[in-house]
């Protein structure tokens, strides 16, 4: 195949035969294979339908946080589908529960935690929900705060949990305004501060060292939402300030990181970690019909979701087995490459008269605006360039940014926001495609 990797299918077939041999003691039975033609024609129809997508796998897709999983994750997930384990209870997925515990321990170790409580979730929203649920249980009635650039999920989750929530202003680099945070915390009723290490829009990193200093004074919990940015702790090319924030993550009370973003996993794989394993007591519940097969920990006993795909754990375990989460390793090199791509694109944009970059990327997300007389004119140009680039196979994204992020650029502020171009350069291959991306971008703007 030209673009889509398929050699892993051969490894999958060998592994599938090995799996099958593990059940050879059982009496034979006819696993009634349905007619191949039927499956083939439906699959071809599905393939036809799936062609209606942006090419997320290609370096010219440089828009949102989307990329295909690693081939080993894809194959391991598929392999597990012949069992379809459920990691809710050990009787539903013995091996995959053990693999989840190992894989999650490796993620915790990446943040320096040996003792912790954690598990996989359906995604970042569910993982953050559990972290804020715990925060609410430990500080009932107190307010949860997050920057106004934090993921919108925090506001929605707190509404679901019926916890008070307040946004805190951001600095012009998209990170939380620590003076505003201190001002708010001084009122004494903040129960939890969400520190985002890698905002969804701009990849901005909140100043975690300063937030932790404020925790000493005001005694709130600190929850790190590193759903997007967490794996960048392994990158070797962060700025000193960003590195300082990542190095403080182990001091947080809870962490969310999404293997289905930068961890090379299929969707349906978030992860929540708690520094204090005692929070497991908050999850305590009885079930008359589960947890009977073993006295060992069933993951359902420490998670709010019940059924969860064991296959997600198998895929994550396999990926981390092939690409361990270590600084200097192959996986880490992928993160550094994405960041190099972002730095290179931001440098080229800043050096050109045509574009304005409000602040340099902290991770691998670049935001920029066409240079124009006014905010409204820049916004109209962004949309036009976005559409023209897409027509020429370069897929970017759009984001509304406050005009105040562009202080000193002299846009006439005829509106509060500027619609900007945005690019998430999350594939390591992007590092070798900046020439072509920049060329097509300029073509779209000409
Ligand atoms: C920082 C951050 N938190 C939370 C989420 C929500 O995660 P999910 O889409 O996996 O539910 C996202 C998604 O982009 C994110 O970037």
Of the listed ranges 81-90, 284-293, 330-339, 419-428, the least confidently predicted one is 284-293
Residues contacting residue 407 through CB under 8 Å, at least 6 positions apart:
172
**Residue 65 in contact with ligand 1 by CB distance below 6 A:** yes
Q: Cβ(258) to ligand 1 under 6 A?
A: yes
* pLDDT value at residue 407: 86
How far does the centroid of ligand 1 lie from the alpha carbon of residue 205, in Å? 14
For ligand 1, say whether the CB of 118 is within 6 Å of any of its atoms. no
For the question of whether the overall pTM of this predicted structure is more than 0.95, the answer is: yes
Give the pLDDT band of residue 408 (cuts 50, 70, 90): confident
Q: Is 200 in the pocket of ligand 1 (CB under 6 A)?
A: yes
Model pLDDT, residue 293: 84
Pocket test for ligand 1, best of 255, 258, 260 (most atoms within 8 A of CB): 258
Residue with CA at minimum distance from ligand 1 atom 7: 124
Q: Return the C-alpha torsion angle 407, 230, 129, 402, nearest 10.
A: 10
- Ligand 1: distance of its center to the CA of 125 in Å? 6
Atom of ligand 1 at shortest distance to CA of 229?
Answer: 1
Beta bridge partners of 367: 422
In sequence order, the 6+-apart residues with CB closer than 8 A to the CB of 224 are 194, 195, 196, 197, 208, 230, 249, 252, 254, 255, 256
Residue 379 near ligand 1, beta carbon < 6 Å:
no
The whole-number pLDDT of residue 31 equals 73
158-167, 195-204, 280-289, 398-407: segment of lowest average pLDDT: 280-289
Strands 190-196 and 143-147: parallel
Residue 287: pLDDT over 90: no
| Of residues 71, 177, 249, the one with CA closest to residue 402 | 177
Atom 8 of ligand 1: nearest residue by CA position: 124
Other beta carbons within 10 Å of 140: 9
Residue range 16-27: mean pLDDT, rounded:
96
Q: 88-139 pLDDT, tens per residue?
A: 999 999 999 999 999 999 999 999 999 999 999 999 999 999 999 999 999 9
Say if ligand 1 is within 6 A of residue 228 CB: yes
Q: How many other C-beta atoms are found inside a 10 Å radius of the C-beta of residue 12? A: 18
Atom of ligand 1 nearest to the CA of 270: 10
Q: Would you state the structure tokens that stand for residue 386, as one six-digit string?
A: 């976005």
Identify which of 147, 197, 228 to mutate to test ligand 1's pocket (most ligand atoms within 8 A of the CB): 228
Name the DSSP letter for residue 298: P
Q: How far is the CA of 295 from the centre of ligand 1 (A)?
A: 34
CA of 223 to the centre of ligand 1 (A): 14
- Ligand 1 atom having least distance to the Cα of 65: 14
Q: What is the pLDDT of residue 288?
A: 84
Atom of ligand 1 nearest to the CA of 196: 1
Q: Residue 45 Cα, ligand 1 centroid: separation in angstroms?
A: 31
CA distance 339 to 327: 15
């Amino acid at each position: 195949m030209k673009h889509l990797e398929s050699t892993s299918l051969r490894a999958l077939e060998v592994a599938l035969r090995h799996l099958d041999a593990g059940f050879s003691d059982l009496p034979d039975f006819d696993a009634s294979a349905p007619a191949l033609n039927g499956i083939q024609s439906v699959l071809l129809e599905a393939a036809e339908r799936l062609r209606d997508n942006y090419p997320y796998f290609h370096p010219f897709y440089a828009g949102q946080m989307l990329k295909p999983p690693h081939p080993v994750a894809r194959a391991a997930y598929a392999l597990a589908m012949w069992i379809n384990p459920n990691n809710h209870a050990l009787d539903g997925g013995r091996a995959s529960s053990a693999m989840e515990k190992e894989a999650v321990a490796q993620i915790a170790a990446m943040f320096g935690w040996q003792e912790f409580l954690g598990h996989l979730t359906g995604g970042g929203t569910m993982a953050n929900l559990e972290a804020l649920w715990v925060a609410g249980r430990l500080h009932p009635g107190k307010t949860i705060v997050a920057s106004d650039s934090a993921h919108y999920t925090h506001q929605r989750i707190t509404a679901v949990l019926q916890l008070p929530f307040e946004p805190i202003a951001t600095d012009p680099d998209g990170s939380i305004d620590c003076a505003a945070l201190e001002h708010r915390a001084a009122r004494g009723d903040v129960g939890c501060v969400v520190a985002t290490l890698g905002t969804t829009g701009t990849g901005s990193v909140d100043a975690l060292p300063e937030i932790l200093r404020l925790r000493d004074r005001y005694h709130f919990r600190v929850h790190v939402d590193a759903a997007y940015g967490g794996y960048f702790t392994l990158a070797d090319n962060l700025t000193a300030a960003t590195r300082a924030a990542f190095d403080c993550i182990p001091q947080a009370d809870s962490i969310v990181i999404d293997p289905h973003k930068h961890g090379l996993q299929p969707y349906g794989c978030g992860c929540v970690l708690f520094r204090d394993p005692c929070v497991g007591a908050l999850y305590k519940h009885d079930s008359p019909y589960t947890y009977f097969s073993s006295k060992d920990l069933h993951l359902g006993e420490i998670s709010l979701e019940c059924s969860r795909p064991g296959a997600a754990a198998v895929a994550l375990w396999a990926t981390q087995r092939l690409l361990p989460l270590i600084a200097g390793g192959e996986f880490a090199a992928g993160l550094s490459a994405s960041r190099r791509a972002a730095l290179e694109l931001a440098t080229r944009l800043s050096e050109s008269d045509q574009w304005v970059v409000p602040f340099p990327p902290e991770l691998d997300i670049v935001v920029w605006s066409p240079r124009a007389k006014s905010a409204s004119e820049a916004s109209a140009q962004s949309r036009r360039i976005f559409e023209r680039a897409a027509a020429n196979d370069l897929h970017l994204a759009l984001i509304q940014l406050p005009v105040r992020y562009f202080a000193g650029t002299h846009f006439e502020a005829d509106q509060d926001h500027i619609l900007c171009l945005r690019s998430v350069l999350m594939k390591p291959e992007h590092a070798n495609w900046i020439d072509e991306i920049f060329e097509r971008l300029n073509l779209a703007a000409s």
